[in-house]
């Protein structure tokens, strides 16, 4: 079974979602199915069909989360030491400050697992082209990354394990 890399925050968010699905959503859906059943003929009961479909999606998400938690490889970069005191490498969970070489625009990303990725919060999945291009790089490295819009060139300004 493949391991699912995630940060401690990502694992906690998944556990919270799992609790919510099991204790709030599942009972609500069961009640909706019971209510729809009480209306009689199930063959033409749109409320029943919708509730059953929602139940299927909820159960699938529960199984998905349980599988990810079971195979989780929680990586807490705050506990990593830098024995040489040299430049830190970009790894899963690290926070990277970059400068776009063409525009001098600065941006900071944190490389996280798929479930906690949120581009609006500058949390990018380790599977994205940008994250893949950054992994293993150090401060002052210049990199070219192919993205769907073309190629971008960044300089790594700072790498932090926070």
- Is the same domain home to 95 and 141? yes
The range of the structural domain enclosing residue 22 comes to 4-74
What CATH number is attached to the domain comprising 48?
1.10.287.180
- Is the same domain home to 141 and 86? yes
- Is the same domain home to 59 and 101? no
* Residue 104 per-residue DSSP state: -
pLDDT digits (tens, 9 = 90+) for 127-147: 999 999 999 999 999 999 998
Domain boundary among 43, 74, 105: 74
Alpha helices (runs of H) in the chain, residue ranges in sequence order: 8-20, 26-37, 46-70, 129-134
What CATH number is attached to the domain comprising 98?
3.10.50.30
Q: How confident is the model at residue 1 (pLDDT cuts 50, 70, 90)?
A: low
Domain boundary among 74, 96, 128: 74
pLDDT digits (tens, 9 = 90+) for 43-70: 778 888 899 999 999 999 999 999 999 9
- Average pLDDT along the chain: 92
């Amino acid at each position: 079974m493949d391991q699912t890399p995630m940060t401690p925050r990502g694992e906690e968010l998944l556990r919270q979602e799992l609790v919510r699905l099991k204790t709030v959503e599942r009972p609500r859906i069961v009640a909706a199915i019971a209510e729809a059943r009480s209306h009689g003929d199930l063959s033409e009961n749109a409320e029943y069909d919708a509730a059953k479909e929602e139940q299927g999606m909820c159960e699938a998400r529960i199984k998905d989360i349980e599988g990810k938690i079971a195979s989780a490889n929680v990586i807490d970069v705050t506990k990593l030491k830098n024995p040489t005191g040299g430049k830190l490498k970009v790894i899963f969970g690290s926070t990277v400050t970059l400068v776009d070489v063409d525009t001098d625009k600065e941006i900071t990303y944190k490389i996280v697992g798929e479930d906690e990725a949120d581009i609006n919060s500058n949390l990018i999945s380790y599977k994205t082209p940008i994250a893949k291009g950054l992994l293993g790089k150090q401060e002052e490295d210049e990199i070219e990354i192919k993205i769907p819009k073309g190629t971008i060139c960044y300089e790594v300004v700072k790498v932090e394990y926070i």
